[in-house]
Amino acid sequence: MPKTDSFLPSNLVTGLPSPKAITSDKSTSYKTHIAQDDTFQNKFEALGVSTDLGASFLAGMVTLFGAGGYLVFARLGKQHVEGAVCLEIATEKVSLGPRHIEPVNVSADAFDSKNATHVVVGIVFGVKVVFGARLPSQEDKLQTQHQMDTKLSSLRSWLDRRTSATTSSNIDHAPLDTLDEHLDDMNYAIFSDLTDWERIYNLSVKDKSELMNDLPNALKRADYGRGDPIAYSLVPIEYMRLMLGVPSHQQAPVQQPAGALLRQFIHFFDQWQEVERDIKNFQEKRMTATLPCTDPVINLLERTLKAKSSMRDGFREALKHARGAADPNDALTRILHKYCTSTESPKAVQEILAKEAGDSEFKAGVTGNGGQYTDFAGAQRAVSVRSNIYIKYSTEDMKREKTSWEANQRIIYNLLKRNPGDYLVAVAECKPKQLAFNKARVTFYSRGEATIHDMLDNVDLVDQAFARYDAKSLDTTGCHHPTNRRPVSLACPGKNCNQNTLCSWTCYKCRVPLKYSDEFIYCDCGRAPTKAYSWQCNSDNHGSGFTKYRLSKLGPNLQALGSYKEVNILLLGEMGVGKSTFINAFYNYIFLRDA
């Protein structure tokens, strides 16, 4: 009965039919199939489950037992990858031949049931055994999956040889045990139709080998070697009427939903399962990092499971209605669209997790490198007690504007990386009403006053190479900058910095390019002797400290500095407007100002 995937207690054949009506083939055969991962789609293919039957299972309409228990065996997290090898041993095939059934042997009430939709015309007896395998996941996911694929292929070959030896009564253990060393880093579970093997967890390679040695005896115990029904062949009931010549009651044929639509549901349930693992992994990472879950994540797993259960209920009712309906796809399409677009859909949950994971990573990066994470009130308190502080302000809505959000993140990371310890870096999560601007920004405060409102407008102040003087050596007695001053362009003395890369240096305090002349370095702060400076370039390799130059190397490098590049200025104007007067005045100013 495909509407509900259940069997009705009714017989088609009665009396003593012709020997050709029901035939039996007792030749033993086996086959193996690999499930390369633990998606429902791969599991269904490995077990020989059709799309229709798989949909019924996901809708909660099928009771599982034996090897079918493998379908509900699922990883809880992403610490492992999972696959399986499915072994099917067929011991007997019983077939019904409708053309050899006489009318006298057709049950009078066989076609009276309004619920019957199909007739069983074949049964395969035997056993199915699923060898599930788990392998610890490595950082390189592709490499881990490649290792799993290789090991599953080896396991399949091993099972093929073992099963062949078992079914032919020619067991040879010698060439089979050598392969176990290659497979001993996996954990195994068995799901089987065999009574003593129905569900066995946490098996080692040795345990698995011992069970395979017992396979012949286990088969004998399974209904005296026959086993259980492992596959059925069905034909529509109207088709059976035609073959038997039984008058039709004009019962409408059962319409089945489109296979492509049902496969979309199967894929959707796979997405549900994957997102459950993502939530659990995220929560475990937050606990490890001792970071509290934010509002969007609290009870996210509970809400997701509730939405999944609600969808399964809706899917079950829609599937029952669809089988036999005039338009079997309409109700299912509406259910799929409803849950694909809901706020608890796998896609929506993944977006929440991705955002929260990014926030968690940023928060850990800030606090792990000496910064602070606070709210608006905490930021205001920090401004009042710190002399120099950079604060990144943002709200939840501002995070959606990725360009400015990511640019300000880079500024914060750069400030943390280069902080020698004389300023604080903080990130403030604010409410919309607390801020008068609509984009994230980093503000610099000095002595309680905002001196740079938006560092994004002054990003060069973060990315420059800085030189810092010893305050005791600074001369501020109104000295003029000499006319022969030259821009300071030197390689950084940092031990991890590239000595072949010249940097243009800026004063760490006034942020003005440095000039050199007569053993002094000049900026808007004043001047200081060259030996009073320490240096910090903007290379990622430099670190947060300032490095002193060896005087034996600094002096010659400064003496070798080049002059400013010449700049040609073209003055245009009519005759008599004062072009020559301006040029002469400008020349005299440059020539005489330091006289």
SS3 sequence, 223-266? CCCCCEEEEEEEEEHHHHHHHHCCCCCCCCCCCCCCHHHHHHHH
Cα 371 to Cα 392, 496, 542, 571, distances in angstroms = 11, 24, 19, 52
Q: 29 and 53 in contact (C-beta within 8 Å)? A: no
DSSP bridge partners of 187: 134
Q: Angle 330-340/259-288 helices, nearest 10 degrees? A: 20
In angstroms, rounded to a whole number, what is the distance separating the alpha carbons of residues 191 and 201? 9
pLDDT of residue 172: 44
411-423 CB burial, b ≥16 within 10 A, e <16: bbbbbbebbeeeb
In the numeric block, which tokens belong to residue 558? 């400064």
Instruction: Evaluate whether 130 touches 190 at the Cβ level (below 8 Å).
Output: yes
Tens of pLDDT along the chain (595 residues) come to 456 677 877 888 888 888 888 999 988 888 999 998 889 999 999 888 889 889 999 999 888 888 888 998 888 778 888 999 999 989 899 999 888 888 878 886 777 777 777 889 999 998 898 988 888 888 788 888 898 898 899 888 888 887 776 665 544 443 444 455 667 788 888 898 887 787 888 887 777 777 777 777 777 777 667 888 888 888 888 888 888 877 766 555 556 788 899 999 999 999 989 988 888 888 777 776 555 556 567 678 788 888 889 999 999 988 888 876 767 888 899 999 998 988 888 898 888 888 888 888 888 889 888 999 999 999 999 998 878 899 999 998 898 888 888 899 999 998 898 888 888 999 999 999 999 998 999 999 988 888 889 888 776 666 789 999 998 999 988 677 887 889 999 999 999 999 889 999 999 888 788 999 988 999 988 999 999 999 999 888 888 889 999 998 998 999 888 777 767 788 888 888 888 888 888 878 766 665 5
pLDDT for residue 329: 87
* pLDDT for res 175: 43
Which of these, 404, 412, 396, 288, lies nearest to 352 by C-alpha position?
Answer: 396
In whole angstroms, give the CA distance from residue 595 to residue 431. Answer: 59
Do residues 455 and 440 touch, judged by C-beta distance below 8 A? Answer: no
Q: How far apart are CA 344 and CA 458, in angstroms?
A: 41
Domains of the chain plus CATH, in order, are 22-244 (no CATH), 259-353 (no CATH), 369-462 (3.40.30.10), 464-559 (no CATH)
Torsion of CA 220, 194, 87, 118, to 10 degrees: 100
- The pLDDT, as a whole number, for residue 443 is 93
- Residue 294 has a pLDDT of 60
CA 274 to chain centre: 9
Q: For 463, how many CA atoms within 13 A lie in the half-sphere containing its CB?
A: 10
Pairwise CA distance, residues 203 & 73, whole Å: 15
pTM: 0.66
For residue 416, the Cα-to-chain-centroid distance in whole angstroms is: 28
What is the per-residue pLDDT for 188?
86
- Residue 278 has a pLDDT of 86
- One-letter amino acid of 260: A
pLDDT of residue 326: 67
What per-residue confidence (pLDDT) applies to 235? 86
